[in-house]
Structure 1
Amino acid sequence: MMNYQITQWCAHFISEHVKEGELCIDATMGNGNDTLLLSRLCGEKGHVLAFDIQEMALANTRERLEKENAPHNYELFLDSHVNMGKYAEPVSVSCIVFNFGYLPKGDHTLATRAESSIQALTVSLSLLKKGGILMLCIYSGGDSGFEERDALLKWLKVLDSRKFLVIKTEYYNRPNHPPMPVLVVKL
């Protein structure tokens, strides 16, 4: 792992896990970085579902996927991540990616919120197949505050340890409330 930014750290674990032909979800598509990664990893035989509530996110993602010649194995939805269960069957998904906070270069008043994020995470657990992963990037401080981070960590801490492995890491010596990567594995 050459770069230790949160996005590269998360991409490393996603790349180790996702195989060609699998179904994956980008629950918070933003500018399409994770959607592109998942599309390439799933390949022509796989499928990626990507969600966001902002038209700008869909436009940015669509443009990025086309520019990068991503396989045409994705669907982009202008819908909340809370509703992803309407688009995928239970126990069918290999990897679900979340980036909590706001759209980079977007409207900072439109950000994920604790209540809907926990609802989406709860749905995502039922969609994951055995051995499937959730890859979470939790941003806090500044515009996003700490309420969502604290609520997510509280929720993650009480997941049944017989069913899920939760690995929380942090950039311990970086200033200004660095993002926190969390990996959840369905056992």
Structure 2
Amino acid sequence: MLQTALHFSHTLLKEVIKEGDSVVDATMGNGNDTAFLAELVGTKGDVYAFDVQEQALTATAKKLTDANLTKQVQLFHQGHETIETVLAKETLITAAIFNLGYLPKSDKTIITTPDTTKQALDALLPRLIPKGRIVLVVYYGHDGGEAELELVQEYCQNLPQEHYSVLTYQFINQRNNPPILFCIEKK
């Protein structure tokens, strides 16, 4: 059976992340990806997780505490556009994940935007190790979603093939704008 974009994102990350790595959850949301990353990197690794909504931080902190995964995670109550200022210049990452759109079961007017997503990608690419991956799951069926999808697609298409491979993964026969996954891998 074909995997959903969300499940496939985890498959792509599991292939490259190992214990002790440093990774980024650019949009922590309800904490599912943050906890997943924390399990992969173990207590010797580092997860840097970002979100602008207090609700996201609260849900993520609870999930991490319940699973005994707090030691390796730093939660930042700020947008992913601040990655450049939060991560030390020498911090190298193995992977990053974005779920772009809005926080499920919350205020649908608070969304990720093309500008902040571009800033985050610009900050992450130079820190990505060879064979490292940045996965973006783009939910675009809301106001502003199409613009962000366009930005991500254009950004990925313009990455030089000598340095990056980019994959897209989507279901093309489903209703209600199923998410589209992009995976950037550094060569």
State the identity %.
34
Per the normalisation by structure 2, the TM-score is 0.94
Q: 2:33 is matched with which residue?
A: 34
Tell me, yes or no, if structure 1 residue 145 matches structure 2 residue 145: yes
Moved runs in structure 1, 4+ residues, more than 6 A?
none
What do the CA deviations read for 1:1-24 (whole angstroms, capped 9, x no partner)? Answer: x67222111111111110000000
Q: 1:125 is matched with which residue?
A: 125
Q: How many residues align?
A: 186
Q: 1:105 is matched with which residue?
A: 105
Contact residue 47 and residue 73 of structure 1 kept, 8 A = yes
User: How much has 1:68 moved relative to structure 2?
Assistant: 2.0
Per the normalisation by structure 1, the TM-score is 0.94
Q: 1:47 is matched with which residue?
A: 46
Structure 2 Cα separation of the partners of residues 17 and 107 of structure 1:
34
Of 145-154 and 37-46, more deviation after overlay is shown by 145-154
Contact residue 102 and residue 144 of structure 1 kept, 8 A = no
Question: Which 5+ residue runs of structure 2 have no aligned equivalent?
Answer: none
Of 2-11 and 115-124, more deviation after overlay is shown by 2-11
Q: 2:19 is matched with which residue?
A: 20
Q: 1:77 is matched with which residue?
A: 76
Structure 1 Cα separation of the partners of residues 126 and 112 of structure 2:
21
What do the CA deviations read for 1:95-152 (whole angstroms, capped 9, x no partner)? Answer: 0111110011111100001111111111110121122110110111134531111121
Structure 2 vs 1, CA of residues 114 and 107 (structure 1 numbering), >3 Å: closer, same or farther? same
RMSD of aligned residue pairs (Cα, Å): 1.5
